[in-house]
């Protein structure tokens, strides 16, 4: 009979991965980021265990989208009061807060529970090429920008 493998906390190895978002398509980029955060690229992946890497995304302001999403896609929030709906287009959101675009897209691909909240904290997004995590990032993994 086979037994299920459940990794212990000291067996989980977490790395730092830098992803360059310049020229990348929003959806394709965020699926890669979500897989890295969940740890699906590791051979010891176990659902329900937060064993992914920390991800630093640079150049978030330079992502591209397909079709007319820049003007047609909107981000909505509501204050809870009548007439309190605020909508921001993707173009304006990228200009003012490029980190929120990627964070929102990745959050939609993660589990919406305590584990998902724990995982999203390991995502760091920056609009430009500069980031303060250069001490943590030792090596750029193969296949990653």
Q: Please tell me the total count of domains within the chain.
A: 1
The CATH number that applies at residue 47 is 3.90.1180.10
Residue 91: pLDDT over 50: yes
- pTM summary value: 0.87
* pLDDT score at 29: 96
Residue 139: pLDDT over 80: no
Q: How confident is the model at residue 144 (pLDDT cuts 50, 70, 90)?
A: low
Among 1-10, 20-29, 81-90, 115-124, which is the least confidently predicted range?
1-10
Longest dimension (CA), the chain: 61
- Beta strands 85-89 and 74-78 are antiparallel
d(Cα 120, Cα 130) in Å, to the nearest integer? Answer: 21
What is the domain extent for residue 97? 15-125
Q: How confident is the model at residue 79 (pLDDT cuts 50, 70, 90)?
A: very high
| 95: in domain | yes
| 2: in domain | no
**How much is the mean pLDDT over the chain?**
90
d(Cα 45, Cα 26) in Å, to the nearest integer? Answer: 25
Who contacts 99 (Cβ-Cβ below 8 Å, separation ≥6)? 60, 125, 126, 127
Cα atoms in the Cβ-side hemisphere of radius 13 Å centred on 56: 19
| 67: in domain | yes
Render pLDDT for 29-61 as a digit per residue (tens, 0 to 9). Answer: 999 999 999 999 998 888 888 899 999 999 999
């Amino acid at each position: 009979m086979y037994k299920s493998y459940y990794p212990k906390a000291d067996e989980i190895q977490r790395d730092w991965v830098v992803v360059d978002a310049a020229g990348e398509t929003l959806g394709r980029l965020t699926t890669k980021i979500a897989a890295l955060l969940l740890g699906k690229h590791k051979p010891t992946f176990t659902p329900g265990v937060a064993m992914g890497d920390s991800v630093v995304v640079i150049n978030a302001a330079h992502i591209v989208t397909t079709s007319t999403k820049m003007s047609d896609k909107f981000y909505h929030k509501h204050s809870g009061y009548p007439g309190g709906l605020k909508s921001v287009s993707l173009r304006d959101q990228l200009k003012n807060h490029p980190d929120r675009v990627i964070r929102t897209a990745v959050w939609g691909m993660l589990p919406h529970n305590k584990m998902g909240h724990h995982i999203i904290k390991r995502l760091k997004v920056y609009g430009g090429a500069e980031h303060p995590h250069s001490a943590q990032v030792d090596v750029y993994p193969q296949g990653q920008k």
